[in-house]
Structure 1
Amino acid sequence: MAKRALRLACVALSILILRHHGEFQAFTGSVIAQSGSRISLRSVAETGLSQLAAVTTLSIDTGDLAIIKEYAETGLITDATTNPLFVSQAGLSGDPVYVAFVEDAIEYACGKVEGVDERVALAMDKLAVNLGVAISKLVTGYISTEVDPRLSFDKEETLRRARRIIALYEEAGVPRERVLIKLAATWEGIAAMAELEKEVQAVAAAQYGARLISPFPGRVLDWHKRSSGKETWSPREDPGVVAVERMCPLAAIVACCLLEGTSFVGPGSLPMLPKLRKSRALSRTQLTATPSQRVAYAAVVQVQVKEGQEEDFLEASLQNARKSKGEPLNQRFDVLQQRDSPGNFALVEIYRNADGPAGHKETQHYQRWRDDVADMMAVPRTAVQYDTVFPGKATDYHPATLMLERSQGAADVDVTHVVVKVKPGAEKAFKKATRANAMESVKEYGNLRFDVLQSVDDPTDFLLIEVYRTAADAAKHKNTQHYLEWRSTVAFMMAEPREGKKYVTHFPSVPAAWKVAEGVI
């Protein structure tokens, strides 16, 4: 009798969820056309989708296991996401597979907790996990599961339910490393995210970094349809696409590793995905990786200021850095002060492509900085242009946090710039050995970054930017096997002894902002 009552309560809740989502005309998946007719998988895979998969991570947004299996078998889809709408649709579908999920969830809830409300909540979480477990067998990457959106303004209950979902996945044999918990972007949801990141991802307390931002262009489009009465837009003018495109400069500021454009309602929107630079110029049938996906452009500006001008220079440079991070083509803007010579500063600028540095110099904030600091210089500043050896793509310079600054000031991390000059003819061998060392170094627990840059004007000049959580972590690096092998391998290549300079980091000032986003390199 109790199970029957629980089943009816679950059905009632599912209908309520369907009605709620129906008000926003939510689409059931990113591969369903607006008319509801299925798009040819072959045509999508052979045009935009396969080319898109070459330059970004694709997550399928549906609860239909058959569709997920079909797309996963193409090798183009690695992740999948679900939400209460999909779970409710599955539970009410009548399909024997989903009916079994529901019966298992009800049986589980009845055996674990008392009271109808608590049993319904647990049964719905278990049903979502049952669906997620099935999906985990079809895709190789992340499975996203959403906490009940009715808890969007309740931090503690959101945390409790999120922790329970994670535990249910682990109980079913799915490791937490594969699970993404979707929370509402309310203050309470963000606060819950910060705590979960510390628990689930072992991120330090200062690192308020979400694993990804997941906008829903299809939902944005639905809202605009309802509010405007208009039914169709061109791919370039699609309100959902425009909304995500507006997030790209924001992503450069908050530096989220993945900007997942989920819930696109048709393949016409795919080439407009603003994850790709110059997307506005792409046709609906041809999507190619431009140089901006393959090469990052770096510049290191060395400044020596007059004694007593350090604080004024720092304040002007921080204002410039904050605004520079809002430029669409900017990836990094580091403000560093030499530890043993506080009058010396280094500004490290990374851009997506060659247009970035030129565009930066046209901005008002750069020109104001240039004018404000002109009289502070002890000697003319110098700038060296670099190509990136490691990481090799502009998108690899996204840090893994939502925050770039904290009120306490400089970041308590260990930053070293190692200046290397190799013998002419040794450049290729040095790059090979140093790239191998860097790839292993970023795996060290205490490492936050390990960038390898090569001078454009003099290819025998290299700069290694090594960032560790603590000085002790940096010291441990020098005892690793890969470092010792590197040191031995490159010793004969050196034209002169390498030089290391230690820096205080003023921007970014959050340790996580130095860490490259997981899964990028």
Structure 2
Amino acid sequence: MNQLDALKQFTTVVADTGDFKQLSAYLPTDATTNPSLILKAVQKPDYAPLLQDTVNQFRGRALDEIMDRLLVRFGCEILSIIPGRVSTEVDARLSFDTNATVARGERLIELYQAQGIHIDRVLIKVAATWEGIQAAQQLERKGIHTNLTLLFSFCQAVACGQAKVQLISPFVGRIYDWYKKSAGAAWVEADMTGANDPGVQSVKHIFNYYKKFGIATEVMGASFRNVGQITALAGCDLLTISPDLLATLTATDAPLTQALNADAAKAASIEHVSYDEATFRLALNEDAMATEKLAEGIRAFCVDAVKLEKLLLAA
């Protein structure tokens, strides 16, 4: 049995890609997309006609609507291949606007429903800012399920649990990147792998907290830099993995054992916490890594959204 098959015994495997033609090789349950992944896909010859066709069909409409229709077009293609859910992201430029995020999330769902897609097969992806979390809470109350992304800190995870969001995506690799860069020459790679990886530790802490206190929000580890980070989180509810790392797991038959365990978490000694807006903002501000990576992530998604718009305008 290869490591991917072994991992599927403990964890729901999700493909992190807009390149839906790769999906059938790995048989993931779910798939996630974001503006950067869609931008990367539409620049490939295989997918350029899909962008052109969307523009031709809706030319003259508002640019933000054409963008959403393109995202939904990709999502529908993905859903024709996988059995589970696809995550589609709200424009990152709305990350600090609760009402606009709710409106965009509702529109994305309406576009999916117009294509005959059931509401339960789509997760609306929102940045885990305070405003994004409040928007997700409103969407969930309307029956629209959400995936809170760009999540780097425990306080973000706690606030998402309080908001009863469907799923969170803590970013393992980007946490690892920050600590490695911060440590500089003092970083010893061999000492910071597997269970000692700071990104892995962050997800494990969140997973254990959720299971300890019966929080139903699903935990999906994301943004992996190596297979060791993935295998150290076997047992997490879901893991979203790039095609390159899915290929590595498929090519490896080394033993893989369950690392996270919900029953063990229930017995752990963990203190319950809660946040309102003021205490959330203070806790996030106290975490330099999370503050920097959240801001950086939103900026990067905004840049790629603009690039995607330019491609739509040029089509």
For this structure pair, what is the TM-score category when the shorter chain's length is used for normalisation? Answer: 0.5 to 0.7
Q: Secondary structure of the residue that 2:221 maps to in structure 1?
A: coil
Query: How is 1:97-496 mapped onto 2 (pairs within 5 angstroms)?
Result: 98-111=47-60, 113=61, 119-201=62-144, 208-229=163-184, 232=189, 233-252=192-211, 253=213, 255-273=215-233, 275=235, 285-288=254-257, 329-330=265-266, 356=267
CA contact (8 A) 1:60 1:262 kept: no
Distance in 1, Cα, partners of 2:260 & 2:128? 34
Q: Secondary structure of the residue that 1:214 maps to in structure 2?
A: strand
Over 3 Å counting, the alpha-carbon distance change for 1:124 and 1:223 in structure 2 is farther
Q: Segments of 4+ in structure 1 off by > 6 A?
A: none
Distance in 1, Cα, partners of 2:40 & 2:214? 35
Over 3 Å counting, the alpha-carbon distance change for 1:289 and 1:224 in structure 2 is closer
Match of 1:497 in 2: none
Distance in 1, Cα, partners of 2:91 & 2:228? 32
Amino acid at match of 1:86: L
Over 3 Å counting, the alpha-carbon distance change for 1:161 and 1:237 in structure 2 is same
Alignment pair present for 1:63 and 2:6? no
- What is the root-mean-square deviation of aligned Cα atoms in Å? 3.2
CA contact (8 A) 1:48 1:267 kept: no
Distance in 1, Cα, partners of 2:176 & 2:4? 21
Deviation at residue 290 of structure 1 after TM alignment: 8.7
Match of 2:151 in 1: none
Amino acid at match of 2:255: Q
Superposed CA deviations along residues 488-514 of structure 1, whole A, max 9, x for unmatched, are xxxxxxxxxxxxxxxxxxxxxxxxxxx
Distance in 2, Cα, partners of 1:192 & 1:292? 31
Structure number with greater Rg is 1
CA contact (8 A) 1:109 1:120 kept: no
Q: Percent identity?
A: 35
Match of 1:92 in 2: 43
Aligned residues: 238
Deviation at residue 200 of structure 1 after TM alignment: 2.4
CA contact (8 A) 1:145 1:179 kept: yes
Deviation at residue 219 of structure 1 after TM alignment: 2.5
One of 60, 80, 83 as aligned partner of 2:34: 83
CA contact (8 A) 1:244 1:274 kept: no
Deviation at residue 223 of structure 1 after TM alignment: 3.1
TM-score normalised according to structure 1 size: 0.41
Superposed CA deviations along residues 459-511 of structure 1, whole A, max 9, x for unmatched, are xxxxxxxxxxxxxxxxxxxxxxxxxxxxxxxxxxxxxxxxxxxxxxxxxxxxx
Deviation at residue 217 of structure 1 after TM alignment: 1.1
Deviation at residue 166 of structure 1 after TM alignment: 0.9
Over 3 Å counting, the alpha-carbon distance change for 1:244 and 1:197 in structure 2 is same
Distance in 2, Cα, partners of 1:166 & 1:291? 33
TM-score normalised according to structure 2 size: 0.66
Q: Which runs of 5+ in 1 are unaligned?
A: 1-45, 114-118, 278-283, 297-327, 331-355, 366-401, 405-521
Match of 1:378 in 2: none
Deviation at residue 84 of structure 1 after TM alignment: 0.7
Q: Secondary structure of the residue that 2:15 maps to in structure 1?
A: strand
